Amino acid sequence: MDGESQRFQARSYAEQGFLVLRQAVSQQALGTVRAAVEASCVRYRMGDERCVANGYSIGQVTKAHPERNPGVDPADVRNEPFLLGNLAALDPRFIRFLSFRPLWDIAAAMLGRPESEIVYRFAQVLRRPAGVGPGQSWHRDFPNPYVQTESAAHFLRLLVPMHPMSSANAGTGVLAGSHLVSDGDATAGKATEHPPAGAQFPSLDPGDVLVIHPKLIHGGGPNRGAGDRDLAVIQFGWSQAPLTHCAEGERLSLATREAMRRGERPQPPD
């Protein structure tokens, strides 16, 4: 990416609070992560302890929030994974995917820091299978219960779809400009169940990346379309940013790319 287009993209991310980068992930990297998702789903359905302990089923989400999955009986989807968490602990292919350089380059460019100062924080796969995938609230990722820095300016999330994703199959919806509030107002804000006026649903193909600002309002409805929708969500941050809290047990959280490639977990900053 040349300097001019990188500046344009960084400006667009700063103004809109999200950015779609076309074909930023190679077919090879997609193949690696898809194979890991498939294998982890099989393990989850069979009751694998690690997959179950780090995830939630569609049945659990549907039971807790029936309004997000109308017409679906939780018993029918009790073993179907909705969320696969702590990816680096589940399958070495996830680590290979998470080490993929373009993901780090995107995070570095949008956070305005050199790649050597970017750290991985956590990653999940969020699944909304055709016909039974639940919706979610409209919310901001600042604050979040996983890993958070004092300032929202010091982290972001990359959303990497494994299937074509749009409003037809519960693609992630975004409200442009909604990140332009203070950190205090973002913290005081409440999640809602209804799409805000002006929400848009970017259409993405596998290989595209949706970058979202921690204060951007985003969400979506249930998947009643014909196409599955699996999405990898990865949080990166600036290594020097003071943390308010950090996900216990999240493998490789706070690793630089180099440390991740060695499979090491460094000490958190003082």
Ligand X SMILES: O=C(O)CCC(=O)C(=O)O
Q: Which of 233, 234, 241, 255 binds ligand X (CB under 6 A)?
A: 233
The DSSP secondary-structure symbol of 142 reads S
- Nearer to ligand X (CB atom), residue 46 or residue 191: 191
Q: Which residue in 231, 232, 241, 252 binds ligand X (CB under 6 A)? A: 231
In one-letter notation, the amino acid at residue 170 is: A
Count of residues near ligand X by CB under 6 A: 9
Contact residue for ligand X among 9, 133, 141, 142 (CB under 6 A): 141
**Sites for ligand X among residues 144-173 (CB under 6 A):** 157, 172
Q: How far is the CB of 70 from ligand X (least distance, A)?
A: 18
User: Which residue, 233 or 260, has its beta carbon nearer to ligand X?
Assistant: 233
Q: Based on the shown chain and the rule CB under 6 A, indicate whether residue 228 belongs to the binding site for ligand X.
A: no
Nearer to ligand X, 17 or 220 (CB): 220
User: Could you tell me the sign of the dihedral formed by the alpha carbons of 52, 130, 64, 145, in that order?
Assistant: positive
* Minimum distance of ligand X from residue 132's CB (angstroms): 15
How do beta strands 209-212 and 118-127 pair?
unpaired
Residue 163 DSSP label: S
If the CB atoms of residues 206 and 266 are measured against ligand X, the closer one turns out to be 206
Instruction: List, as own/partner pairs, every contact residues 76-81 make where C-beta atoms lie below 8 angstroms and the sequence separation is at least 24, other chains included.
Output: 76/132, 77/132, 79/44, 79/45, 79/47, 80/45, 80/127, 80/129, 80/132, 81/40, 81/41, 81/44, 81/45, 81/51, 81/55, 81/56, 81/57, 81/127
**Rounded least distance, CB 58 to ligand X, Å:** 13
| CA 243 vs CA 226, 234, 247: distances in Å | 41, 17, 11
Q: What residues line the site for ligand X (CB under 6 A)?
A: 126, 136, 141, 157, 172, 218, 220, 231, 233
